[in-house]
Amino acid sequence: MKDLELLIFDLDGVITSEQKYWNTARLTVWEILCRSDYIGLSEYFKITLTNPDLVLENGEALISTAFIAELKNRAVNSNWDLTFFVVSLHIIGIANQLSRASLSTLNSCNIYEQLQLLSHFSESKNIDLLITEYIIQDFWKESINLKGTAVQEYVPVFAEKVIGQSLNIFLTDSPLWQLCYDNFQDWYEGRKAYQLPDDETVLPVAEIRQTLAQLAQSYQLAVATGRPRNETIPTLTKLELIEYFAADRIVTYDEVITAEKSSDIRLGKPHPFIVLKAIYPQVENTKLIKMAKKSHPRVAYIGDAASDVVAAKAAGCHSIGVLTGFGMDLEYKQQLLSQIGCDKIIADITALPDLLPTDKNIPKNKTMSTAWIALVLAGIAETGWPVGMKISQQPDKTVLGIAIAFICFVCSASLLWYAQKEIPLGTSYAVWTGMGAAGTFLIGISFFGDATSPIRYVAAGLIIAGVILIK
């Protein structure tokens, strides 16, 4: 890892605590399963949970630490997916105890009607949580070799085996998933007339600031998180950490949602999309999706979960695991991260400066990207073809001038094409034409006797300044 240039950080479990998310997921599960607006099994968890405070006090009964550990082991990282998993598996357990004939009507209803029908069908039944718990154990056994999205895709398959019929409610893009997402966000953002405690950090924030400040002397720092942007930027700002990360390299779930609109695959972790987006912030999403497995030996992704390791490896970069975050046994977590292919495992991010070479004299941008090198060369070549055309006007140098013009034009266009793979069209074209205009202006004055005046020099200076500002 001696040649690293870019360090990409996950947030939850690495910098920020996940406790607020676990609490939010538990409140969402309680609301959908126990409150009368939805399924309404108020005594389902064998505890009378009448308000959010009681839910959080008895959180293990709704979503146990063991359940969270299982999902993390399977490289499932999204808190909305966690909530959907819990709700789905409990509904499978509830549906297993209901009449098969009554369940056949569910697929023709919307999500709210489906949940109300489940409530109605359950009224005359003594729904037993213990049966559901056995069914959940079977799910973990049957899906033991599955990872990431494959685990999620197995839920409807498993449901059909347990219930005896296919129900669309369990599909990963179903209205139930959207309901879990919407209610989760309402709880998290305080729209349910209940205020959850603010985000905490896994370490004292002063230690985190000191570590990031030290690393920022030698590396570019980025963020690739499953959090939405409106939960990422305010949190980093409040913690006074945002200054250490390049603004265009803070990648959130918002970018995932945008990219998924033009893709038929799910792009949340463990898919490498957000890691690649942090590496190439200017590249089009459709191109990024095709860049999985491309080698990035100068990049490391720092995370605390199996999904982070899988995403890092799929993005072709180094994986550094930290043992902070979710409170599973540290020895077991270290073993899990090692087995899944993590390159280095450390206690927390404060160990990074000792793990990685640091030199305060090394600038953050240690090398110019090959795309920008290509663009600069394209700009230089852009001056060559008009110069060649000028040379060709001399009777004894017509062929030479045309040859120079042709070669420079081909080189300039080819290099511009390459540069635009990474650099946006507007930026690359402006820099290309700006360099060509300024370069031919200076060559014309120096070698071809073009007129000079202060105003012409000012104009050329403005072109050059514009190119610098665009870069």
Please tell me the predicted confidence (pLDDT) of residue 66. 84
Which domain-ending residue is among 321, 355, 389? 355
Whether 32 and 169 share a structural domain: yes
Task: Give φ, ψ of 198 to 5 degrees.
Answer: -65, 165
Q: Count other C-beta atoms under 10 Å from residue 82's C-beta.
A: 24
> Is 418 a domain residue?
yes
Please tell me the predicted confidence (pLDDT) of residue 111. 93
Whether 337 and 432 share a structural domain: no
> Is 365 a domain residue?
no
> Is 280 a domain residue?
yes
Whether 161 and 136 share a structural domain: yes
> Is 195 a domain residue?
no
> How would you class 151 by CB atoms within 10 Å of its CB: exposed for 0-12, middle for 13-18, buried for 19 or more?
buried
Amino acid letter, 406? F
Whether 171 and 227 share a structural domain: no
Please tell me the predicted confidence (pLDDT) of residue 364. 44
Q: Residue 338 CA to chain centroid, in angstroms?
A: 22
pTM above 0.85, yes or no: no
> Is 361 a domain residue?
no
Whether 236 and 171 share a structural domain: no
Whether 348 and 381 share a structural domain: no
Whether 111 and 24 share a structural domain: yes
Which domain-ending residue is among 158, 188, 218? 188
Range of the domain at 326: 6-14+200-355
Can you give the three-state secondary structure of the chain, one letter per residue? CCCCCEEEECCECCCECCHHHHHHHHHHHHHHHHCCCCCCCCCCCCCCCCCHHHHHHCHHHHCCHHHHHHHHHCCCCCHHHHHHHHHHHHHHHHHCCCCHHHHCCHHHCCHHHHHHHHHHHHCCCCCCHHHHHHHHHHHHHHCCCCCCHHHHHHHHHHHHHHHCCCCHHHCCCCHHHHHHHHHHHHHHCCCCCCCCCCCCECCCHHHHHHHHHHHCCCCEEEEECCCCHHHHHHHHHHCCCHHHCCHHHEECHHHHHHHHCCCCCCCCCCCCHHHHHHHCCCCCHHHHHCCCCCCCCCEEEEECCHHHHHHHHHCCCEEEEECCCCCCCHHHHHHHHHHCCCCEEECCHHHHHHHCCCCCCCCCCCCCCHHHHHHHHHHHHHHHHHHHHHHHCCHHHHHHHHHHHHHHHHHHHHHHHHHCCCCCHHHHHHHHHHHHHHHHHHHHHHHCCCCCCHHHHHHHHHHHHHHHHHC
> Is 193 a domain residue?
no
Whether 307 and 399 share a structural domain: no
User: Which residues are CB-contacts of 167 (< 8 A; sequence separation ≥ 6)?
Assistant: 95, 103, 106, 107, 156, 159, 160
Q: pLDDT of the chain along its 471 residues, tens only?
A: 667 899 999 998 899 988 888 899 999 999 999 999 999 998 899 888 889 999 999 999 999 888 888 887 787 778 888 899 999 999 999 999 988 888 888 888 899 999 999 999 998 788 999 999 999 999 999 998 888 788 888 999 999 999 988 888 898 888 999 999 999 999 998 899 898 877 789 899 999 999 999 999 989 999 999 889 988 999 999 999 999 999 999 999 999 999 988 888 888 888 999 999 999 998 888 888 888 778 888 999 999 888 899 999 999 999 999 998 765 567 878 887 888 889 999 999 999 999 987 654 444 444 446 778 888 898 898 888 888 888 888 888 889 989 988 999 999 999 988 887 777 777 778 888 888 888 887 887 877 777 777 776 676 667 666 655 554
> Is 1 a domain residue?
no
Whether 79 and 174 share a structural domain: yes
Q: How far apart are CA 52 and CA 393, in angstroms?
A: 84
Q: How far apart are CA 438 and CA 422, in angstroms?
A: 24
Whether 80 and 167 share a structural domain: yes
Q: What is the CATH number of the domain that holds 337?
A: 3.40.50.1000
CB 16 within 8 A of CB 234: no
Please tell me the predicted confidence (pLDDT) of residue 363. 44
Whether 107 and 166 share a structural domain: yes
> Is 253 a domain residue?
yes
Can you give the three-state secondary structure of 360-395, one letter per residue? CCCCCCCCCCHHHHHHHHHHHHHHHHHHHHHHHCCH
CB 158 within 8 A of CB 141: no
Angle, CA 446 vertex, CA 445 and CA 450 arms, to 5°: 25
Number of domains in the chain: 3
Whether 34 and 167 share a structural domain: yes
Which domain-ending residue is among 355, 381, 397? 355
